[in-house]
Amino acid sequence: MRVLILDLDGTLWDHEDASKLVPPYEFHGDYLIDSNGGELHLFPGVREFLEWASGRFVLSIASWNVEEKVKPILEGFGLWDCFVFPKIENHPDKADMIARTLRELELSGYDVGGVIYVDDRDIHIEDVKTTVPSIRFIHMWKDAKSFEELRELLERRGDSMELLIVKDKRIDYDGSAIGSHWAYRNFGILGNSLVVFRGKCDVKVEEMIDIEDLRASKEIRSDDMVHYIIEVFDLVNALFASTLQKLFIARLCEVLAEYGVKTHRKGDDIYVNGKKLSISIATVSPVSVKIHIGINIEAKGIPEGVDAIGLKELGITDVEGFMEKTGKALVKEFNKVKRDSLKVRWAQ
């Protein structure tokens, strides 16, 4: 089940530091008054949102506050029991709070299938992403300007493709990542996903998917590539896999054009000036479509007889920026296709 972790101050309510309020509190519907006359108001739609979300997520809290002051506020509003293993602690290390909550959930038997963190500030997010790389962040009041918009955003994301760009380490591609649920097993991403990473490519014979390559004993190697591992669960069909693969290749060609690179697509391969820039394979498992695309960063370690080219030879030296730009472009393309497929009616 997916986990939704919420901040408190500035996110669920309008007070910037609820720990400064002085009990006892007087509760009046969706606001309270403390013993000094200070007020705290729940934002409009909070109760309705939590009621909706509690049936779809495991809800928890990561808040830089004093629990002895803030827990009675949540109890007074009747919200405390909505949350599992909430962390309300007087320090700013949200990454540690979230990591401990996830460990406690797993130890208690929860099957954590993705984590979303909602906060009105983004000052903690880099540390949080370092600790929990697969976490998805929603910047409250920017990404969603109300709790109704937050609900709509979460509903859309439930059907969309999740993007993870791995920047903190290299991952070599040996063909095994083409197996089903690779993103879930390695990063906790459940559902449609795109994982972008950098590393070598050396596909072993036993991992080869393309029968022509296998029959010809072709080597698939490169010393440095940007890799895209795509998994889609909506339709398990080899024709759909091949079509989706070519759509993504075409979209990558469009992004390369934005860098001033003129490309030529041959099936599922990208060429520049007659030299091969990419490799790709699409296949199906019993549960999903899997696609791998690899783009050379430098044309080194390439099998003999393959005339190749890399991004650096094309003047694209900001590899992480390229990973970010292309990853977002592919996810946006897929999500648009999926949304468009949902808005049509049957022909009469």
CATH number for the domain spanning 309: value is 3.30.930.10
Do 335 and 217 reside in the same domain of the chain?
Answer: yes
Do 36 and 122 reside in the same domain of the chain?
Answer: yes
pLDDT band, residue 158 (cuts 50/70/90): low
Do 184 and 332 reside in the same domain of the chain?
Answer: yes
Do 134 and 168 reside in the same domain of the chain?
Answer: no
Among residues 158, 186, 221, the one where a domain terminates is 158
Q: Give the range of the structural domain holding residue 53, as residue numbers without chain letter.
A: 3-158
C-alpha torsion 254→260→266→269, nearest 10: -80
Q: Is residue 20 part of a domain?
A: yes
Are β-strands 221-232 and 193-202 bridged in parallel, bridged antiparallel, or unpaired?
antiparallel
Determine the Cα–Cα distance for residues 235 and 27; give it in Å rounded to an integer: 51
Among residues 158, 193, 225, the one where a domain terminates is 158
Q: Is the pLDDT of residue 216 over 80?
A: no
Do 176 and 51 reside in the same domain of the chain?
Answer: no
φ/ψ of 317, rounded to 5, equals -105, -20
Q: Where are the alpha helices (DSSP H) in the chain?
A: 46-54, 67-76, 94-107, 125-131, 147-158, 182-187, 211-215, 238-258, 319-342
Q: Is residue 348 part of a domain?
A: no
Gyration radius (Cα) of the chain, Å: 24
Do 232 and 127 reside in the same domain of the chain?
Answer: no
Q: What pLDDT digit, counting tens, does each position of 287-298 carry?
A: 999 999 999 999
Do 121 and 238 reside in the same domain of the chain?
Answer: no
Q: Is residue 312 part of a domain?
A: yes
**Of the candidates 3, 29, 28, 7, which has an alpha carbon nearest to the alpha carbon of residue 16?**
7
Domain count, the chain: 2
Q: Is the pLDDT of residue 168 over 80?
A: yes
Q: What pLDDT digit, counting tens, does each position of 60-95 carry?
A: 999 999 999 999 999 999 999 999 999 999 999 999
Q: What is the CATH number of the domain that holds 132?
A: 3.40.50.1000
Do 231 and 144 reside in the same domain of the chain?
Answer: no
> Which one has a higher pLDDT value, 172 or 234?
172
Do 145 and 288 reside in the same domain of the chain?
Answer: no
Among residues 127, 158, 189, the one where a domain terminates is 158
Are β-strands 136-139 and 289-296 bridged in parallel, bridged antiparallel, or unpaired?
unpaired
Task: Give the tokens for residue 345.
Answer: 């009616």
Do 230 and 336 reside in the same domain of the chain?
Answer: yes
